[in-house]
Amino acid sequence: MRTIWIVMLLGIVGITHAQVPQMINYQGRVTIGGTNFTGTGQFQFALVNDGASQTYWSNGSAVVSVPVTKGLYSVLLGDTNLTNMAALPATVFTNSDVRLRIWFNDGVSGLQQLSPDQRVAAVGYAMMAGNVPDGAITSNKLAVGSVTSAALAPGAVTTVAIANGAVGSVQLANNAVTAANIATGAITSANIASNTITAANMASGAGVVPTGAIVLSQTANNDALTAAGFTPLTEIDASYWAQVAAAASWSPRCNSAVVVFSNKVWVMGGAVGSSSVTNDVWSSSDGTNWTRATPAAPWPPRELSSGVVFNGKMWVMGGNRGSTLYNDVWSSSDGTNWIQVTGAAPWSARYSHHPIVHDGKIWIIGGGTSPNTD
């Protein structure tokens, strides 16, 4: 008659934070006819489910020789340094009910199964700590304040890991976000709420007017412009103005794109009446006599677009037609023949934006990005 007492431990010397040893320390006792066995015992081990209908692991088909003293023995299940001992994968403990089955041979009677099978308790499942399944640790398992910036590697938290709206001004310390933390072009007008940027949020001398720009003032002396670094160029006397045409050849309109190109004034598109827009193009060398370059340019009719002269061509960019906003770009060297440079520039569709030419480039500043319903 054979009986066995079992103690299951995870007590391997040399456990480190970097890796959980894939072994289980098993201790047991063997008696034969009520007498403690002493000698070299031959064992086989298996980890099975309840009822042994499924085997999750075994040491192999051969026996493992283990020294037994006064009935007591100890063995590391999964220790491949032992002859005929197979490695023990942690995935065994993804199963909820794992039991140890043992066969013993005293060298005389042959292999006999010892019973009952012993269920593995929580210690064996600690092996899974070395391979936590994805998604196993959720916010419910983290104490408030347990994850701080000191516990996060640089770049560990990216935009993919942050829900929309999760980080607001309340979650950001003063001056936490600087220019060094913002990628070029990351913040556009679509990301800025109306009236968010005021004079109080801007450094001295900062503003939306680029260096070298020309601005108009209704007063001869403007302290704000002077403080911003602008210098008066000239003063225009309203009495110098003279009407050269009471009714030009083009229909009455507003919100047209207007440029000076090839010694002519050009009027392009605009709103005609209260519910119609146009895409005709007109030019004049004296403001009195006008010539229609085209009754319908290939760009869609629009108003509040921007016009600029650059690289020997006229350019029309953006604008709107009712609730439809554009961010296309067109160019022409004669006002009649137009080329679409792009159907969708990287800046958001807009109207009432301001274009300038600076440093060999066209610059687009500001504008409205919500549908124009005026």
Task: Name the nearest CA neighbour of 42 among 67, 74, 25.
Answer: 67
pLDDT tens digits along 118-152: 888 766 556 555 566 667 677 777 888 778 878 78
Domain containing 111 — which CATH number? 2.60.40
Confidence tier at 207 by pLDDT (50, 70, 90): low
372 domain-assigned: no
Asked if residue 197 belongs to a domain, the reply is no
pTM for this entry: 0.40
C-alpha separations of 52 from 43, 47, 62, 116 in Å: 18, 9, 19, 11
* Total tally of structural domains belonging to the chain: 2
Strand arrangement of the beta sheet that strand 264-272 belongs to: 257-261, 264-272, 276-284, 291-294
| pLDDT confidence of residue 213 | 67
Domain boundary among 130, 156, 189: 130
236 in a structural domain:
no
User: For residue 343, what is the domain's CATH number?
Assistant: 2.120.10.80
CA 28 distance to own-chain centroid = 55
Does residue 144 form part of some domain? no
Amino acid at 73: Y
Q: Which of 103, 130, 157 is the last residue of a domain?
A: 130
Instruction: Name the one residue in this structure whose structure tokens are 């225009």.
Output: 236
186 within a domain of the structure (yes/no): no
Residue 255, domain member (yes or no):
yes
Last residue of a domain, one of 115, 130, 145: 130
Range of the domain at 82: 2-130
Q: Each residue of 315-347: pLDDT tens digit?
A: 999 999 999 999 999 999 999 999 999 999 999
**Does the pLDDT at position 188 exceed 80?**
no
E strand or H helix that includes residue 123: helix 122-125
Does residue 233 lie within any of the structural domains?
no
Burial class for 41, CB neighbours closer than 10 Å (0-12, 13-18, 19+)? buried
Name the range with the highest mean pLDDT among 27-36, 49-58, 192-201, 216-225.
49-58
Least confident among 35-39, 47-51, 96-100, 154-158? 154-158
- 16 within some domain: yes
